[in-house]
A = this chain, B = another copy of it.
């Protein structure tokens, strides 16, 4: 699709580890933002990056970050709020019962909102990794939801010119996240009563939550709150952050058709964790698949494929799609 903007979160380029290999799978991966930006600039069709506050903004400063990106011909697509990667958030951030921790989490959010304005991104992505619980009898569900909504409201009012996108996730690193589904994210966003609070649909989180990616997008758009998208793939059992199209082909096509029909004009930002794979290859493949699916969609009639859809016709569409993807006799 002409004009479709592809992006990626910079973490994909780093030395990623897990609980069994904390030192990371690619110890020689670049640790600094400058090298990362240069690597990103070489990936075909990559329009921009998603960076984290405060990690990346403090590493080089917001001004210099902006110049780095523009020198590399890349946009800043969104600012991620980083309230996960420090032991101080271990019992929660924005919803913590500890007033100091909560105040700090709000401060990071506001810093991200400011940076988003300054860098022209206009978008903050807020994923609260440490908010939730691991055990029954651990989370005070009522008070923590109060704090969630109040926190987001305060952040949203801080910069009404910047969009604040809540990224739900069913679980991980907590056994159950505070905001696990599209439905709950939309409830929280609506309860703030602020127009600049919406949701990020990470398609891998939607798959893991058992959602239809397309239905989730339609519902978020319905309430005027489909702000941002994260693309990746998984087999519905975990948020594996695999390259797009390595598992799902037909359901991804359905999502793309609906995004056209909804007139979504935001970025298609990749959230990948290529622990062992080459990041450029993982990103490149994902973009190729997304672009290939868009071309496939063009051939199949575009958004018309899902407009006025009738239940009875599903299999006919599947046959048309298969005929367009697979070689004929």
Contacts and interface: CB of A to CB of B under 8 A. Distances in A.
Contacts of A235: 175, 236
A321 B136 CA distance: 11
Interface stretch (A71-79, A109-117, A154-162, A287-295): A287-295
Contacts of A137: 250, 254, 257, 305-306, 309, 314, 317-318, 321
Nearest to A131: B311
Contact of A190 (B182, B190, B214, B310): B190
Given A141-B218, A190-B190, A285-B315, A133 B212 contact: yes
A140 interface: yes
Nearest to A255: B136
Contact of A183 (B187, B295, B327): B187
A53 to B, nearest CB: 16
B243 A315 contact: yes
B311 A258 contact: no
Contacts of A248: 247
A250 B247 CA distance: 6
A210 B209 contact: yes
A251 interface: yes
Nearest to A19: B18
Contact of A315 (B171, B250, B282): B282
Interface of A: 16-27, 84-87, 90-92, 97, 129, 133-142, 145, 170-173, 175-176, 180-187, 190, 209-212, 214-215, 218-219, 222-223, 234-238, 240, 242-243, 245-251, 253-254, 257-258, 273, 275-278, 281-282, 284-285, 288-289, 291-293, 295-296, 298-299, 305-312, 314-319, 321-323, 325-329
8 contacts: A18-B19, A139-B309, A141-B212, A141-B258, A175-B242, A245-B322, A289-B322, A299-B327
